């Protein structure tokens, strides 16, 4: 058994919306170099937890650190620059930009914020050659290079997911958080997406992902964390989680 080596540690992270406690995580660790799955029924607080940890929503309480550095209170693009990124769905505004421009915008870690503000502030088209080269290398890796001048909105469902993943890598992160990376993807493409996720880990990255398909989860995860009603109710290796009655109950109760 490898020695624990948490890249991310969180304590007492809480967020309520009105009277509803969406997230109430007493303790969470993600071990470096693993693929960790965050699972749980709809509304369990998975996306909210991603938003909180990556600085795209504000906690009511709690603290967390990444690579030993405190992140609470930092905004989304500063968190991204520290090396922890989450993917964002291709929003309507982003579908009207080319694939390459999506990548260049992501280089600033700004996708979850006011896209057009970032656009105006940075004059990204004049951005140095290095960003374009990095974007093209990533697009090549995700088999999107020949689409670079297409509007992102013209991509297929699977290609959008690949672009979402590729964009997140523009800031050269050490950890990526993928929220339902396979959602709405043609089953024929699922294997290819899974291959990309395991390749990230094999390159030394840490991956935290949200997914519903149990076969997918069991197939690629090193560790599984189960969230229900905002709380971590179980965690462990895939074989232990599969046999855990609390997990079965949480899913059946969804």
Q: Which residues bind Mg ion (CB under 5 A)?
A: 46-47
Minimum gap (Å) between residue 86 Cβ and ligand ADP: 12
From CA 72, how far away is CA 144, in angstroms rounded? Answer: 35
Work out what residue 108 binds among ligand ADP, Mg ion, none; the CB cut-off runs from 5 to 8 Å by kind. none
Nearer to Mg ion, 22 or 103 (CB): 22
- DSSP state, 98? B
Give min distance, CB of 20 to Mg ion, in A. Answer: 15
By CB under 6 A, the count of residues binding ligand ADP is 11
Residue pair 191/221 in contact (Cβ under 8 Å)? The answer is no
**Which does residue 45 bind out of ligand ADP, Mg ion, none, counting CB within 5 to 8 angstroms by kind?**
ligand ADP
- How far is the C-alpha of 201 from the C-alpha of 116, rounded, in Å? 33
Residues 9-48 contacting ligand ADP, CB under 6 A: 17, 20, 22, 40, 42-48
Buried b (16+ CB within 10 A) or exposed e, 154-179: ebeebbbbbbbbbbbbbbebbbbbbb
Q: Provide the phi-psi class of 206: left if phi over 0, else alpha when psi is between -120 and 50, else beta.
A: beta
- State which residue, 22 or 241, has the beta carbon closest to ligand ADP: 22
Long-range Cβ contact pairs of 248-254 (< 8 A, separation 24 or more): 250/40, 250/41, 250/44, 250/226, 251/41, 253/41, 253/228, 254/41, 254/42
Residue 248 makes contact with ligand ADP by CB under 6 A: no
Contacted entry of ligand ADP, Mg ion, none for residue 35, CB cut-off 5 to 8 Å set by kind = none
Choose between 15 and 196: whose C-beta lies nearer to ligand ADP: 15
Q: Which is nearer to Mg ion, 46 or 196 (CB)?
A: 46
At closest approach, how far in Å is the CB of 179 from Mg ion? 6
Q: What is the C-alpha to C-alpha distance for residues 99 and 149, in angstroms, rounded to an integer?
A: 6
Which residues sit at the interface with ligand ADP, rule CB under 6 A? 17, 20, 22, 40, 42-48
């Amino acid at each position: 058994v490898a020695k624990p080596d948490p890249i991310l540690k969180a304590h007492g992270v809480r967020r309520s919306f009105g009277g509803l406690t969406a997230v109430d995580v007493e303790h969470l660790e993600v071990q470096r170099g693993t693929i960790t799955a965050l699972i749980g029924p709809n509304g369990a607080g998975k996306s909210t937890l991603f938003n909180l940890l990556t600085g795209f929503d504000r906690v009511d309480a709690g603290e967390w650190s990444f690579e030993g550095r405190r992140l609470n209170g930092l905004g989304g693009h500063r968190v991204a620059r520290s090396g922890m990124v989450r993917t964002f769905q291709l929003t309507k505004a982003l579908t009207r930009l080319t694939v390459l421009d999506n990548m260049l915008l992501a280089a600033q870690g700004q996708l979850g914020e006011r896209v057009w503000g970032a656009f105006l502030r940075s004059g990204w088209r004049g951005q140095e050659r290095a960003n374009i080269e990095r974007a093209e290398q990533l697009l090549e890796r995700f088999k999107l290079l020949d689409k670079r001048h297409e509007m992102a909105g013209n991509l297929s469902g699977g290609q959008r997911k690949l672009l979402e993943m590729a964009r997140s890598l523009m800031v050269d992160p050490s950890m990526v958080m993928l929220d339902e990376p396979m959602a709405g993807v043609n089953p024929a493409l699922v294997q290819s997406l899974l291959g990309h996720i395991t390749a990230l880990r094999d390159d030394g990255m840490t991956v935290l992902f949200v997914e519903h398909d149990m076969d997918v989860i069991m197939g690629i995860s090193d560790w599984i964390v189960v969230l229900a009603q905002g709380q971590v109710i179980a965690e462990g290796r895939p074989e232990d989680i599969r046999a855990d009655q609390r997990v079965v109950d949480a899913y059946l109760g969804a």
